[in-house]
Amino acid sequence: MRMSKMLVKTRKQVAAEAELPSAQLILRAGLARQVAAGIYSLTPLAHRVVRRIERVVREEMERIGGQEALLPVTQPADLWRESGRYEAIGAELARFRDRNEREMVLAMTHEEAVTDLVRAVVDSYRQLPLMVFQIQTKFRDEPRPRGGLIRLREFLMKDAYSFHTMQEDFDEYYERVVEAYRRIYKRLDLPVLVVEADTGIMGGQVAHEFMLLAPGGEDTLIVCTKCGYAANAEVAIARKDTGDAAIAPNADETPRELYTPGATTIAALCAAARCAPSQTLKAVFYAAGDDLVLALIRGDLEVNEVKLRSVLGQEVRALSHVEAEARGLAVGYTGPVGLDMAGGVRLVADDSLLTAGSLIAGANRVDYHLAGVRFGRDFSAEITSDIALARAGQPCAHCGAALEERRGIEAGNTFKLGAKYSATMGATFADERGVGGNPMIMGCYGLGITRLVACLIEQHHDADGIVWPVSVAPYRYHLLVAGNGAEARAAADTLYVALGAEITLYDDREASAGVKFKDADLLGMPLRVTVSARSLAAGGAELRLRATGETRIVPLAEVATAAETMLDMLTARHA
């Protein structure tokens, strides 16, 4: 491809609105243009990267028996009502009516559509297991798209779905998909960390995410470098040791009032009562649908809203001080003992309270707390579970070593859906005895194609621009002629044919050598081939690896062979 004819325009300045390195470079290199918030047009260079990613993904999905299909983006709302997600998902799901006033949605994911397809075809255990995958456009009306191609409203995604008769078979296949994902990322030269994750709107029993570690990542990860435990902070667990040297309140004491004026925070309460945060009880009010929920947790811990949502089975949001006061709550002094709420309140207790002993809790009137409050004696809860946010420095629940915090970008995910969709939507099979009505066991496996473009740039760049891995580079070679000499131009034209026009980006523009070199570094093709009067005088063309800076002069007749050898050696070093 000749750059004089290519639809591309590079930029010198970093875009002010692009906070991640990948977002900056995508705009500077002219790979994409924002049409609306979270919606981008991809230029031919970016689309070539997408096609290379798709090839790798297709090969690995077919390697484990995947059959490629194509499911519709536009779907009837009734299909989503069958699964129960039409009402459960909020504004992220785009809803509209067609010309016949039929309610429709733009699919943000395809569990309903694939379950509908499989239930229409499969009716016997003999047809299972099977896996269907697709590469398709999705639309999710994100409230806060960010990071260029990282969090989009419209995006391209590979999703796969497997269907099984037995849990054991599904568990084995799930691990095969995880290994296939590892191979994909290795082939793309993209190191990832596999972490435990929240199932979210997908539902099901177990989920994992494949995370690219990056300082600007949108996800917080909790990891243990000793035993290898890793989880998204949304679901991470930690041992809830207090580590406090302070003497706990007498375990046998009965609740007694403390006068604590102005002590509306845990820190202020600890100063007033001369206690440690772990000797206090924190109470946080949430709205969960029409319900009022009081989350109770030890004072040195924080409530994890994702875990709280999971145990309640519905979305939650913290009440503002204004809302809490309007409901008659003593903000900063709320506690579970003697709480009198018209209409009732649901109590959810963190499991840290089971062994916490006597604590200091709010007395439900301004300026007063209760000392000597004990779970199980003075109050109980509808639900007791782990609802605490795991943090760096806490002991690992598995080995006791100090946990660490990392930032990551989600590059893929896998879910054990179980029978969540098959049972509600009637995707069943007849077993060996001819008994029907058995719901299929399902797995779901997602991988964001357009997001991977950004992940690759996030991982492979330097101060001068993108450094594409050979496996996904838009072109293998970036050929340029420096200077206006006729001999150099003729030699470059010849090399363009020898290297292969389909895999070579030829900068034949009427531009200075400096501009061409800067654009070559910015665009990041694996090998730059430069022809100039200087290189010809030195014996041929200059070959330079973008990743390492390794440079050599090669006779013109040997350039094609030498270029291929240099890239093969580079690939072998990274294998």
Q: Which of 353, 385, 417 is the last residue of a domain?
A: 385
Q: Which residue has the higher pLDDT, 501 or 244?
A: 501
Q: Which pLDDT value is given to residue 527? A: 98
Q: Mention every residue, 6+ apart, whose C-beta is less than 8 A from residue 274.
A: none
Q: Which range (152-161, 244-253, 274-283, 394-403) has the least confidence? A: 244-253
In the prediction, which pLDDT does 445 show? 97
Residues 6+ apart with CB under 8 A from 521: 464, 465, 546
Q: What is the pLDDT of residue 245?
A: 38
Domain shared by 64 and 199, yes or no: yes
Q: Which of 385, 414, 439 is the last residue of a domain?
A: 385
The arithmetic mean of pLDDT across residues 370-395, rounded, is 94
- Which residues share a beta bridge with 412? 210
In this predicted structure, what is the pLDDT of residue 329? 84
Are residue 550 and residue 454 in the same domain, yes or no? no
Considering the domain architecture, whether residues 29 and 131 belong to the same structural domain is answered as yes
Give Cα separations from 370 to 273, 335, 365, 466, 476 (angstroms): 11, 8, 10, 60, 71
At residue 315, the pLDDT reads 87
Each residue's pLDDT tens digit, 64-110: 999 999 999 999 999 999 999 999 898 999 999 999 999 999 999 99
**263: in domain:** yes
Same domain, 164 and 32: yes
Determine, yes or no, domain membership for 249.
Answer: no
Note whether 445 and 484 are same-domain residues: no
State the amino acid at position 64 in one-letter form: I
For the segment 540-553, what is each residue's pLDDT rounded down to a tens digit? 999 999 999 999 99
Same domain, 433 and 549: no
Does 315 reside within a domain? yes
The answer to whether residues 179 and 281 belong to one domain is no
Q: Give the CA distances from residue 381 to residues 293, 354, 359, in Å, rounded to whole numbers and listed in that order.
A: 11, 11, 16
DSSP-based three-state secondary structure for 368: strand
Q: What is the pLDDT of residue 202?
A: 57
CATH number reported for the structural domain that contains residue 323 in this entry: 3.90.960.10
Q: What is the pLDDT of residue 508?
A: 94
Distance in angstroms (rounded) separating the CA atoms of residues 362 and 491: 83
- Mean pLDDT for the stretch of residues 518-522: 98
For the record, the structure tokens of 384 come out as 């007791």
Strand ordering across the sheet containing 94-97 = 74-76, 103-106, 94-97
What CATH number is associated with residue 535? 3.40.50.800
Q: Is residue 36 part of a domain?
A: yes
Q: Which is more confident, 504 or 345? A: 504
Q: Are residues 351 and 413 in the same domain?
A: no
Cβ atoms < 10 Å from Cβ of 97 = 10
Half-sphere CA count of 399, side-chain side, radius 13 A? 11
Give the pLDDT confidence score for residue 300 in this predicted structure.
94
Instruction: Please give the share of the chain, as a percent, with pLDDT higher than 70.
Output: 96
Same domain, 369 and 286: yes
Q: What DSSP line would sit under 446-462, residue for residue?
A: EEEHHHHHHHHHHHSEE
More confident residue, 325 or 534: 534
The whole-number pLDDT of residue 252 equals: 61
Asked if 368 and 333 count as a contact pair (C-beta separation under 8 A), the reply is yes
Partners of 461 in the beta sheet? 466
Query: Max Cα separation, the chain?
Result: 97
Whether the CB-CB separation of 286 and 321 falls below 8 Å is answered with: no
pLDDT for residue 426 is more than 80: yes
DSSP three-state, residue 181: helix
Same domain, 411 and 352: no
What are 383-412's pLDDT values in tens digits?
999 999 999 999 999 999 999 999 999 999
Query: How far, in Å, CA of 485 to CA of 537, rounded?
Result: 12
Tell me which residue range forms the domain holding 516. Answer: 475-574
- 225/339 same-domain check: no
- Among residues 433, 458, 483, the one where a domain terminates is 458
Mean pLDDT, rounded, of the chain:
93
What distance lies between CA 384 and its chain's CA centroid? 29
Whole-number pLDDT of residue 277: 94
pLDDT digits (tens, 9 = 90+) for 21-54: 999 999 999 999 999 999 999 999 999 999 999 9
- Is residue 568 domain-resident? yes
Tell me, yes or no, whether 465 lies in a domain. Answer: no
pLDDT given for residue 206 in this prediction: 83
Pairing of strands 441-448, 154-164: antiparallel
CATH number of domain containing 129? 3.30.930.10
| Dihedral pair phi/psi, residue 403, rounded to 5° | -75, 155
- Higher-confidence position of 338 and 7: 7
The band of 438, judged by pLDDT with boundaries at 50, 70 and 90, is very high
Q: What number is the average pLDDT over the span 129-154?
A: 95
| Residue 124's pLDDT band (cuts 50, 70, 90) | very high
Residue 396 lies in a domain: no
- Cβ-based neighbour number of residue 237 at 10 Å: 19
Out of 67-81, 144-158, 192-206, 261-275, pick the least confident.
192-206
Q: What is the pLDDT of residue 275?
A: 94
Secondary element (H or E) of residue 494: helix 486-499
339 pLDDT more than 90 = no
* 299 and 227 both lie in a single domain: no
Task: Please indicate, yes or no, if residue 399 is contained in any of the structural domains.
Answer: no
Q: How many domains is the chain partitioned into structurally?
A: 3
